[in-house]
Amino acid sequence: MSAITAGGGPIGGMPKLFGYDVPDHQGIDLVRKLLHSPIRAVDTSNGYSGGKSERRIGVGIREEGGLPADFLVATKVDACDGDYSGRRIRDSVKESQDRLGLDILPLVQLHDPEFHPVEQFGLPGGAVEALVALRDEGTIGHLGVAGGHTPTLHRMLDLGVFEVLLTHSRLTFLDRGADELIDRATEAGMGVANAAVLGGGLLANRNAKPLYGFRPARPEILAAAAQLHDLADELGVSLPDAAVQLSLRDPRIDTTVVGFSKPERIGKLLSSLEQDIREEFWSRAAELMPDRGLWLDAETLRPDPGSAHRPAASRRRPG
């Protein structure tokens, strides 16, 4: 895999979350250009924009004559009206196959298990059993789990069936809550993907919505984000570039998921990876970073219908 994976949420357009929509032609054009770029993976989900993300990816693949052999499409199974049964898993996978135009889905991830009773996943006839059966049948290549609540993800890893871990919002400048989880996954030989490294926008723009992990940000997170922006301005550093590079510098991370919606962002993103960031910034930023999770683990979890949470092999960097 490339060190960067394109996030599929913006490809489908999520105006409630991102504050803007993405027209069909723009999303499809982005996919077509991704297929010819150094970025060799896209991460999407059955539930993103009611399936529009997967549909646009499928159209882009079809218009380019098929999926290149070295390009990975990762998707996620999603519940429907709270149903996360084995039957729903099979339906979700079939919907993704049809939209993407792929008979075999290279990587399928169980999405956001934290919003459902964790006990149900390991039951006979449940979601995990269905995923394993689909892998055994050859419909799925590899299995992953994707979410943000680290205690729930630890419990999912206890099941011993997943090959890839995707965690969002938990290994950034603003939250280190996934450190132990990622250590565990790495020691088990799993692939690790790190997503939402811009904190949902707080590290991208001073004027971003006061959200972190797609939920209202705690005061200490907002204060830390403001301090990081001040530091970046003082030293002439692009904070969004540094946030991506922070993930790339971590040897445990196989790929960093970065969402964007415009084709021209591909070149700008790749160029930003080559920017030399002063060592003074890294050392002073480390002093501001928390040594624990500040976001979600201690909070009551509630489904957020507007959320867009977002495998692994070599750590080959694009370009």
pLDDT of res. 83: 94
Indicate the residue type of 43: D
pLDDT of res. 295: 55
pLDDT of res. 215: 83
pLDDT of res. 315: 33
**Distance, CA of 263 to CA of 193 (rounded, Å):** 22
pLDDT of res. 318: 34
pLDDT of res. 290: 79
- Using left for φ > 0, alpha for ψ between -120 and 50, and beta otherwise, residue 213 falls in left
CA 313 to chain centre: 16
Indicate the residue type of 68: P
pLDDT of res. 79: 94
pLDDT of res. 202: 92
**Residue 226 CB neighbours (<10 A):** 12
DSSP 291-305: SS--SSTTSPP---T
Low-confidence stretches of the chain (pLDDT < 70) are 15, 17, 19-20, 292-319
Strands (E), the chain: 4-7, 41-43, 72-77, 105-111, 140-147, 164-168, 191-195, 211-212, 215-216, 255-259
264: Cβ contacts below 8 Å, ≥ 6 apart? none
pLDDT of res. 14: 76
pLDDT of res. 200: 84
- 250 strand-pairing partners: none
**Distance, CA of 25 to CA of 152 (rounded, Å):** 38
pLDDT of res. 294: 58
